[in-house]
Structure 1
Amino acid sequence: MKRHRPVSVVLAALLAATVTSACASETAGGGTGAPGGPAKPAAGQQGEAAQQAGPARALDTYAEALEKKQAARAVAAKKWGLAKVPLAAPEPPEVKPRITTRKGFEVRDDEGLPPVFTTVPTKEKIVFLTMDDGAEKDPALLRMMTELSIPYSAFLSDYVTNDDYGYFKKMQQRGVVISNHTLNHRYLPGLSYAEQKREICGQQEKILKNYGKRPTLFRPPYGNYNRDTLVVAKSCGITAVPLWSAEAFADHMEWREWDRDLHPGDIVLTHFRGKGDWKGTMPDMIRLVMKTITDKGYAVAKLEDYV
């Protein structure tokens, strides 16, 4: 299992690679210079040397950006009262992993229905943070998550967001992807096909109108669905149905798996809630879930980079 390396280790590795590349260029044959001094590149090698310098500069720039981002995150962690600085997630894969339906979560075998899953296949020590419904609209959450640079995904239900679409528009402008959690958060297996279509496809249109794009991810209320749910979801543009393997509250965690632990690629659920619904604020919940994630050696990655 691959563990995250401290930024300083990454920087040292990048520096060593750059120095090695530079030394190799200086000692390569074909140039002339003073005895004992570095060889001058021949005319045909000057362009090649410039091309080699490009990647080295890019590595330096990337390393500097990583260092600055983690330094800013350390300042924010202290400001917001986190026990530890959140770990930095690795670069997302160039090719997204193949997602399949979790065993035991299948409906009648139909080719091409959106997969239902609780974990993304990866060997990296990363998890994904997702927030459901949209009832609590705490401005502190927006500031906290932005300053900490923690990615998360929002699965919204219109009946609790329609009094303040602007709050979630600000969230979207900060890089959060808005996804579908139905219009009214009803128990879908108890509805007819037409009723499910109104709930799911109707929310697709609401999100398109208010946020400019139809989602491709959908989470059924309570995690309950049937074949009609998936057929309807596919018909209005849904390609995947992420559920969850752990749930975060302001004062405790709940677990789906028998070992009550995190695993690479796990999806963590929480809700837009405040003191009216649980024992704390949304920042309290973030402090708890990030302590759990960081203590276990995991970083939070962006779900949409992998699904």
Structure 2
Amino acid sequence: MAAAALLVAALGTGCGAADPAAPVKGKAGQSAAEAGSGAAGALANSAEKLKAAQAARAAMAKKWGLAKTPLMAPAGPKAKPEITTREGFEVEGQDELPPVFTTVPTEDKVVFLTVDDGAEKDPEFIRMMQELKIPYTAFLSDYLVRDNYPYFKEMQAAGVTLNNHTLNHRYMPGLNYEQQREEICGQQDTIQKQFGERPRLFRPPYGNYNQDTLRAAKSCGIKAVPLWNAEAFPNRMDYREWDRDLHPGDIILTHFRGREDWKGTMPDMIRHVMKTVTDKGYAVARLEDYL
């Protein structure tokens, strides 16, 4: 390409052909050979970094007792997919309201891990996810979180987005519009006050909502309502779809729970869900990278 450019320049100015013995120069007088060598070096360096990252992740997987090393997710798409409400999940006036969805439209073989409420505050869970570099998104209810805000601040400092799951985890369709708005906007205000950021995502307790829920959520600044297509436990996965399987872009729900509620810990749950995800050839990606 550089040689062609020089030839065009010579023809355009009426000059003679360039000396064929002279090296073709690129930016800042760099020869094509030098440029090629630099590009090859950059690629080799990138490959070495990737290899080192995979080796480090494999070591962490062994440390935390995972059956396999988690797969690396691709970079998030530059052009975000269009998010629309899942068929059958609409309410009247849905086109003007935040979309409700269980799967993100993507051909990437990725799934998204989300964790609800905030009851269990297991420090081993935070360390495990940091060391394994597994992304996840939290949906918090203040009545369960307020006794230990620092736990979730540590989570946020590690790159986890903290989103809205209402103040008191009430059944939203059983409340009127103003009561629902108090639950959602109140949690927006609380998260902003305690963690410095106002959420854009909201998940209604139990996945139940009506038109008032979405109207209230929109009025509080909510942009989208991610539900889930699969749910993770320490000993099983439950699925929404008839084929009982994962699909590209599926959102996985789990909870901040421990032995009091489960026959296992949060790290036990992660070991099980990651075995399932990895065995099926999926990587866990960051939900916010696709929204």
Q: TM-score, normalised by structure 2?
A: 0.89
Q: Which runs of no fewer than 5 residues in structure 1 stay unpaired?
A: 1-23, 34-38
1:137-192: CA deviations, max 9, x gaps? 00000110011010000000000000000000000010100000000000000001
**Is the CA contact 2:236–2:272 (under 8 Å) kept in the aligned structure 1?**
yes
**1:194: which partner in 2?**
178
In the TM superposition, residue 110 of structure 1 has moved relative to its aligned partner by 4.0
Indicate the structure (1 or 2) with the bigger Cα radius of gyration: 2
Q: State how far apart, in whole Å, the 2-side matches of 1:220 and 1:43 are.
A: 58
Judge conservation of contact 2:166–2:184 (CA < 8 Å) in 1: yes
3-state SS of 1:218 partner: coil
Answer yes or no: is 1:227 the counterpart of 2:211.
Answer: yes
**Compared with structure 1, are the counterparts of its residues 146 and 191 closer, same or farther at alpha carbon in structure 2 (3 Å cutoff)?**
same
In structure 2, the residue matched to 1:40 is 23
Counterpart in the other structure of 2:166: 182
Give the superposition deviation at 1:41: 2.5
Structure 1 counterpart of 2:108, from 109, 114, 124: 124
SS of alignment partner, residue 127 of structure 1: strand
Q: Distance in 2 between matches of 1:87 and 1:44?
A: 38
Matches within 5 A, 1:79-228: 79-228=63-212
CA drift of 1:40 comes to: 2.1
Alignment partner, residue 14 of structure 1: none
Structure 1 residues 110, 142: closer, same or farther in 2, change over 3 A? closer
Deviation of 1:43 after TM superposition, in Å, equals 7.9
Do the aligned residues in 2 keep the contact of 1:31 with 1:41 (CA within 8 Å)?
Answer: no
List aligned pairs for 1:281-296, cutoff 5 A: 281-296=265-280
Q: Work out the percentage of aligned pairs sharing the same amino acid.
A: 65
Specify the code of the residue in structure 2 equivalent to 1:244. W
8 Å Cα contact 1:134/1:272 also seen in 2: yes
| Cα deviation 1:207-229 (Å, max 9, x = unaligned) | 00111110000000000000011
User: Following the alignment from structure 1 to structure 2, what is the Cα–Cα distance between the partners of residues 31 and 153?
Assistant: 61
Letter of the 2:124 counterpart:
A
Measure, in 2, the Cα distance between the counterparts of 1:44 and 1:221.
58
Q: 1:48 to 1:81 in 2, by over 3 A?
A: same
RMSD over aligned Cα, in angstroms?
2.4
Residue pair 1:120, 1:265 contacting (<8 A) in 2 also: yes
Q: Which amino acid aligns with 1:157?
A: S
Q: Is the 8 A contact 1:32 1:42 kept in 2?
A: no
CA distance in 2, matches of 1:182, 1:46: 61
Residue matched to 2:245: 261
Larger mean Cα displacement after TM superposition, 88-97 or 65-74: 65-74
Q: Deviations over 1:79-111 (max 9, x none)?
A: 000000000001110011000000000000343
Helix, strand or coil at the partner of 1:277: coil
1:4 aligned residue: none
Name which of 66, 75, 84 aligns with 2:59.
Answer: 75
Distance 1:240 1:298 in 2: 24
Do the aligned partners of 2:2 and 2:26 also contact (CA within 8 Å) in 1? no
What is the rounded CA distance, in whole Å, between the counterparts of 2:40 and 2:187 in structure 1? 47
Query: Equivalent of 2:224, from 225, 240, 261?
Result: 240
Alpha-carbon shift at residue 42 of structure 1 (Å): 4.4
Aligned residue for 1:111, secondary structure, equals: helix
Count matched residues. Answer: 279
Provide the residue aligned with 2:11 in structure 1: none
User: 1:44, 1:148 → 2: CA distance?
Assistant: 41
CA distance in structure 2 between the partners assigned to 1:289 and 1:240 by the alignment: 25
Structure 2: which amino acid aligns with 1:224?
N
